[in-house]
Amino acid sequence: MDDVATTATVKDGDVEATKMALLSIAAASARGEGATSSQKDEARAIIDKLCAMNAVAEPAYSDMMDGDWELVYTDTFPFRSSPFFWGVGKLLGDNAGFFYSAHEHQTSMFGGGCGKVVQTIDMNAGKIMSDVIVRASIGVPLLGFSPLFSGFGSVITSGEANPFGGDSIAVPISSLSTTVRQDDASVLPALNFLNGSTVPVGDIMGRITDGSSEVLMTTKYLDENFRVSMLEDDSVLVYRRV
């Protein structure tokens, strides 16, 4: 990325036009999930331009980081907005890509997939939370491609959030916990006992890897309503304030 620009050298019109160009690609490509190679390349060029106009030198210490942020574009799987999958990536290393693809395939069968993805940050409290709405469907392929039933719910992962290097948030893997919320409880009443269940996934991961391991999200652009962050493998997550 280029060096951060100062507010004196940034024209609001240029910033807004750049954000609108990115949002146009996001809208045309279903948040990036259906983006062609050329759209991805164009989006990355726009993102690089926007990040070069960043006027916040240390986003991790800025009050603008706090609040609810909805994912509007990504060049990876939307569910990777969740710190849970940052931890999974740390655990699996070079094999993480296979896991992400398998998870995407499983959740997208019979019309399922990720819905709204919101990330909530409170740096004063040292907390980060991800709420991913998932529509899940189950069917029998040999009997046709219509699901036997489908429903939706939220997978909510939270953890500690600590400033790191001025532009990054470090999340200790051991601090992660995941809660399942069954929003469509009428679909599978027999599974309603799982609704609201919380799993200390960080403890489980900590037994497999170094318990002191952290995962990072680095913010390259930040203003009152827009944020561009990157994961450790350089995947891009673009958010708009809710």
Condensed to tens digits (0 to 9), the pLDDT of residues 142-153 reads 334 444 444 567
* Domain boundaries of the chain, sorted by first residue: 64-241
Give the model's pLDDT for residue 184. Answer: 58
Please state, for a pLDDT cut of 70, what percent of the chain lies above it: 71
- Do residues 123 and 66 make contact, with C-beta atoms less than 8 angstroms apart? yes
Can you tell me the mean pLDDT for 5-26?
74
Report pTM: 0.79
Band of residue 69 on the pLDDT scale cut at 50, 70, 90: very high
Q: In angstroms, how far is CA 121 from the centroid of its own chain? A: 12
User: What is the average pLDDT value for the chain, to the nearest integer?
Assistant: 81
Within 8 A by CB and 6+ apart from 19, the residues are 50, 226
- Do residues 88 and 232 make contact, with C-beta atoms less than 8 angstroms apart? no
pLDDT (tens digit per residue) in 154-200: 889 999 999 999 999 999 998 999 887 766 555 445 445 455 666 66
Residue 238 has pLDDT above 50, yes or no: yes
Helix axes 83-92, 96-108, angle to 10 degrees: 130
Strand partners, 138: 149
